[in-house]
Amino acid sequence: MARKKYQRPAETPFTGLKAAPESEFSTTFAQGMANRMAVSYHKYGLVAEAYPKKVDAIESLKTRLKLYMEGGEVKGVRIQAGNTEYLMDVANFAMIEFMHPKHPKAFFKATDSSGSPGRNWNDGEVTEAPHGQDQIDNQVRNFYASRGSE
């Protein structure tokens, strides 16, 4: 059976922080991702030429997440845990998997809180989803009120 071709959502121009409150998005992080993708382009060439046939984005993501969490050794050099640059790499590899998925059943479907596994709290508890409708309505009202008219 032939693999169904993945149809990613159409690209939209980056418009900065219009989609999220400034406190909820890091332009420094996003620019860091873009900077690292630019360097990679010049070092390795087009993403589409390597993924998913030659390079596994998810395994690459896992390697960098482990270095961030635990540290490790790379090319004979000890890497200290906690370097947030690795989080930019993790995000880039997630983006690459989104763009050129290796997963044989990859698809995109926007979900609401009923499709969320919740958040993991430091005490080991996991939040329950979905939130109550009143809470959702208030959050939506506050979000649009904070944006003003566009």
Question: What is residue 36's predicted lDDT score, i.e. its pLDDT?
Answer: 97
Mean pLDDT, residues 108-120 taken together: 84
The pTM for the full model equals 0.75
Per the rule left: phi > 0, alpha: psi between -120 and 50, beta: everything else, 72 is left
Backbone φ and ψ for 73, nearest 5 degrees, come out as: -125, 135
**DSSP-assigned beta bridge partners for residue 77:** 74
Sign of CA dihedral 52, 50, 98, 30: positive
Contact 127, 119 (CB under 8 A): yes
Mean pLDDT, residues 79-106 taken together: 97
pLDDT over 80 (residue 146): no
Contact 95, 36 (CB under 8 A): no
pLDDT over 80 (residue 130): no
Q: Render 77-101 in DSSP notation, one character per residue.
A: EEEPTT-THHHHHHHHHHHHHHHS-
Question: What is residue 149's predicted lDDT score, i.e. its pLDDT?
Answer: 52
Radius of gyration of the chain measured on its C-alpha atoms: 19
Burial call 70-90: b when 16+ CB within 10 Å, e when fewer: eeeeeeeeebeeeeeebebbb
Question: What is residue 120's predicted lDDT score, i.e. its pLDDT?
Answer: 83
Band of the pLDDT at 14, cuts 50, 70, 90? low
Question: What is residue 122's predicted lDDT score, i.e. its pLDDT?
Answer: 86
CA dist 56 and 53 (Å) reads 8
Question: What is residue 132's predicted lDDT score, i.e. its pLDDT?
Answer: 60
Which of the two residues, 20 and 49, has the higher pLDDT score? 49
DSSP assignment letter at 120? B
